[in-house]
Amino acid sequence: MTFDHWGSVDEIFRDFHAAICRGTHGLIQELLLHLRNEDCLVVQGRAHNYYGVQLAIHTIRQFGEENLWFPNTQLSLTVHDRRLDLLISHPGNALLAASSSPCDVTCRPRLTVVATA
């Protein structure tokens, strides 16, 4: 990866972090973002309630449609000492349409529950 690419990834992380904070109205605490691999961004945190989770899902989908460079976002939140892992795909992302992604960009967005503990 070039230095310019890492700079743009940092900018995306900052923008995404700010969007989640705004979109969830502070209901997500201890928010961390990192790359699991080049096609999946991981968002971790602690939610005060399931309404915060709903807001996070909505914000991730909205941001993914407009800006995100990653085809998938894994949302891992702890709610009332229970872990919730969700995989949110962004198949309609305009930035990804030009890439060689195997996903058909006309497919419907999906939300996959990975695990609950």
The residues spanned by each domain of the chain are 3-116
What mean pLDDT value characterizes the chain? Answer: 78
Can you give the pLDDT at residue 7? Answer: 62
- What are the DSSP calls for 44-92, one per residue? EEEESSHHHHHHHHHHHHHHHHHT---SEEEEEEEETTEEEEEEEE-TT
Task: Return d(Cα 8, Cα 54) in angstroms, integer.
Answer: 28
Please name the fold of domain 3-116: GMP Synthetase; Chain A, domain 3 (3.30.300)
Can you give the pLDDT at residue 92? Answer: 63
Q: Quote the tokens at residue 85.
A: 């892992």
- Residues 35-49 as b or e (16 or more Cβ within 10 Å = b): eeeeebbbbbbebee
Q: Residues for the chain: how many in total?
A: 117
List pLDDT tens digits, range 49-101. Answer: 999 999 999 999 988 887 767 788 999 999 999 999 999 987 665 444 444 34
Can you give the pLDDT at residue 98? Answer: 43
